[in-house]
Structure 1
Amino acid sequence: MFRRLNILLSLLFLASCTVPPNSPRFQPSENLPPYEQESFDQYVRETRAWVADNRAFIGENHDLEIELNTPFEIRPAEPAQRGILLVHGLGASPWYFIDIATAMANDGWLVRSILLPGHGTRPADLMLADNEDWENIIAHHASLLAAEVDELWLGGFSTGGNLVTSHAYTDDNVDGLLLFSPGFYPDTNYLFLTPAISLFWDWLNIDEEDNIATYQSLPTQGASLYYRSVSTVQKNLETARFEKPVLMTMSQHDSVLDPNATLKAFQNRFPNRQSRFVWYGDTPQNLDDPRVTDLVSHLPERRISTFSHMNVLFAPENAYYGEAGSYIMYENGQNDIPRPVDPENLWFGAWGQSAAEKYHARLTWNPYFVELLDNIREVTVD
């Protein structure tokens, strides 16, 4: 769902392609769930019940859909001294962090992944959320986690990366950040129009909802919320450098963001020597920062042309998005090549990736996932 936000193109076709069907998925719930409970366990229980009551289910396995869209906590075997709060991206779900969360808990971390208001049920619920909801839920649960551990980290994917970075500028309890494809710099010049557009049109994009972990459709309010997160984090980055350790990842071929601007921001605004930037793609020109690691993203032996915005988070073994997972993102911005009948002829890449006689689905797993875990350990070392 959160692909290139070309607002101008959306405006040109708005009248013809953004009228939602008569479906519960495009009608908002009566309200959003509370998120300022006194304990994380209570928050999980009440949010799970709300998701169960309000979700417009896609498939027959309702329990699985509820599970993937419910906040979760994983505790290590021994009492934890370190904790991390993980925040997903626009249209995504807490489950996006399940592979990273499991690995970090095995390393002794107390890990929590929250549900941003407006998510987990139906795309229309993004119309009910505002920026204060997103900022307040992170502040509340960061405070709850800080009370239980000696060392607090925040992690975020895409829009979640913007939100946790902005919070870290205001919260002295935060000891560091893990940022996966952070959405600091969108690859569009028209995002600033979304707050105004949201006053007149409800939807920027209507798609078939067939993915139980991600919204495919985008209300204008959702794009507006992303814009506000961009505006806030860019102001923070312009005002002051972030001195604490950070891990940042980015694909050279990210179709949503400006990767080079993100790399430049890392080099100029995140000076901690312990910080690391993992770049998936060709070696950037004139790179002289030893904190930057580049990994080849063109892996033809695995039928991978490029890395996508989202694939960094998922292990190849992931049951839903993994290399042999049950869900494949066939819809990938190409219509001129027929989908292959034999899965062995399917290639993978970023949204919009195309090549002669190759049909590209979205890449949804990270071939370097083990290396990513090592990167996390390197940045978070005591």
Structure 2
Amino acid sequence: MPVLSGSEPFAHDGSDDIGVLLCHGFTSTPQSMRGWGEHLAAAGITVRCPLLPGHGTRWQDLSRTRWTDWYAVVERELAALRERCRSVFVFGQSMGGALTLRLAQRHPDIAGIVLVNPSVTTLRKAVALAPVLSRVVPSVAGLGGDIAAPGIVELAYDRVPLRALASLRRLWTVVRADLPAVRQPLLLYRSAVDHVVEPVNSQLVLGGVRSRDVTEIVLADSFHVATLDHDAPRVFAGSVEFLHRIHRERVEEPV
């Protein structure tokens, strides 16, 4: 299937010192991360933002994929960045945050991570029934477009395929179990009002990781898709400050 216009992956070759891998959310596309990527590129940073399998076409395509497919793509992009750049960071939003955490768990050489409303669980009891319901109900109403700013549209599916949602639950389970393996510097942005991901998600992440350098910032003026919302400039600027600080500290460390 052709990719929806605006949903294409993007890349920028900048500095060999710092590279950033951007991971988009479930049923979403790189469109939700493009402004962030452009801000990073303008700062001279090398950027990669892949389109995850099953995304950016039809929700039926997502139904045919599993979390291991999504993870394989971001891990491959990470490997390419690690070959090129001295310090590599991973930034993720929503499910992209779960993928970011999994990468950090598996690759301790990642310099640091930035999470925006990361998802590692849900309080919606019906989601636990997704594996069973998926046998008779292919999809349910979508959750995309949770944005406070008027007139801003997220390119995301209007349906959530239940088979893929069941696989996302398995990703959450894996990530939660290995949270203590995350030791990288962590910057976490959480929206005060989020109609998709509950506050318990950030609480679990912050309480489970073993990072010494941890910062949580609450976004008062944005909903779930904060990278397209009122607080986007704050997220973008803060992430650049974070990665420059961490990179500088790594470079200045005694051998």
Aligning the two structures, in what range does the TM-score lie when normalised by the shorter sequence? 0.7 to 0.9
After superposition, where does 1:251-270 map in structure 2 within 5 Å? 251-263=191-203, 265-267=205-207, 269-270=209-210
Between Structure 1 and Structure 2, which shows a larger proportion of helix residues? 2
Instruction: Report deviation, 1:116.
Output: 0.8
The residue identity in structure 1 corresponding to 2:233 is V
User: 2:75 maps to which residue?
Assistant: 139
Q: Which residue of structure 1 aligns with residue 234 of structure 2?
A: 371
Seq. identity, %: 21
Cα separation, 1, equivalents of 2:84 and 2:30? 21
Could you list the runs of 4 or more consecutive aligned residues of structure 1 that deviate by over 6 angstroms after TM superposition?
none
2:20 corresponds to 1:54: no
Deviation for aligned residue 1:236? 1.4
In the alignment, which of 238, 247, 270 is matched to residue 187 of structure 2?
A: 247
Contact 2:28–2:154 at 8 Å: present in 1 too? no
Tell me how far 1:185 sits from its aligned partner.
Answer: 3.0
User: Is 1:171 aligned to residue 91 of structure 2?
Assistant: no
1:280 aligns with 2:219: yes
Which structure 2 residues correspond to residues 150-189 of structure 1 after superposition, within 5 A? Answer: 150-189=86-125
Moved more, 220-229 or 257-266: 257-266
Bigger Rg, which one: 1
Offset at 1:71? 0.9
CA gap 1:99/1:201 in 2 versus in 1, 3 angstroms: same
Identify which of structures 1 and 2 has the higher relative contact order when contacts are C-alpha pairs closer than 8 Å and 6+ apart: 2
Rounded to whole Å, the distance in 1 between the matches of 2:68 and 2:96 is: 14
**In structure 2, what residue type is equivalent to 1:172?**
P
In 1: Cα distance, 2:41 partner to 2:7 partner: 20
Question: What amino acid does structure 1 have at the position aligned with 2:216?
Answer: F
For 2:64, the aligned partner's letter is: L
Instruction: Judge conservation of contact 2:32–2:154 (CA < 8 Å) in 1.
Output: no
Secondary structure at 2:85 match in 1: coil
Q: How far apart are residue 148 of structure 1 and its match?
A: 0.9
TM-score by length of 2: 0.84
What are the Cα deviations for residues 176-234 of structure 1, in whole angstroms up to 9, with x where unaligned?
11111101232323322212222332122379xxx672111111123213212211211
Query: Does structure 1 retain, via aligned residues, the 8 Å contact 2:21–2:89?
Result: yes
CA deviation after TM superposition for structure 1 residue 83, in Å: 0.5
User: Tell me, what secondary structure is at the counterpart of 2:84?
Assistant: coil
Q: 5 Å matches for 1:1-382?
A: 53-55=1-3, 65-66=4-5, 68-76=6-14, 79-205=15-141, 213-237=155-179, 240-263=180-203, 265-267=205-207, 269-273=209-213, 275-281=214-220, 297=221, 307-310=222-225, 312-314=226-228, 365-366=229-230, 368-380=231-243, 381=245, 382=248
Contact residue 157 and residue 179 of structure 1 kept, 8 A = yes
- Return the alpha-carbon distance in structure 2 between the equivalents of residues 206 and 160 of structure 1: 17
SS of the equivalent of 2:92 reads strand
Secondary structure of the structure 1 residue equivalent to 2:111: strand
Shift of 1:264: 5.5
Cα deviation for residue 260 of structure 1 reads: 4.3
Separation in structure 1 between the aligned mates of residue 123 and residue 215 of structure 2, nearest angstrom? 23
Deviations 1:78-136 (A, max 9, x none): x4311111111011111211111111112221001011100111111111111221121
Closer, same or farther: CA 96–261 of 1 in aligned 2, 3 Å:
closer
Q: Is contact 2:186-2:211 (8 Å) kept? A: no
Residues 117 and 134, structure 1, Cα contact 8 Å, conserved in 2: yes
- 1:313-369, CA deviations, whole angstroms, 9 ceiling, x for partnerless residues? 02xxxxxxxxxxxxxxxxxxxxxxxxxxxxxxxxxxxxxxxxxxxxxxxxxx22x33
CA distance in 1 between counterparts of 2:178 and 2:204 reads 15
Instruction: Tell me, in whole angstroms, the C-alpha distance in 2 between the residues paired with 1:181 and 1:119.
Output: 19
Contact 1:157/1:182 (<8 A) preserved: yes
Partner-residue secondary structure (3-state), 2:106:
coil
User: Which amino acid letter does the alignment assign opposite residue 2 of structure 2?
Assistant: N
Unaligned runs of 5+ in 2: 144-152, 249-255
The superposition leaves residues 54-76 of structure 1 with CA deviations (integer Å, 9 ceiling, x where unpaired) of 35xxxxxxxxx43x111110223
Pairwise CA RMSD of aligned residues?
2.2
Deviation at 1:140, TM superposition (A): 1.2
Unaligned runs of 5+ in 1: 1-52, 56-64, 282-296, 298-306, 315-364
TM-score (ref. length: structure 1): 0.57
Q: Which SS does the other structure have where 2:178 is aligned?
A: helix
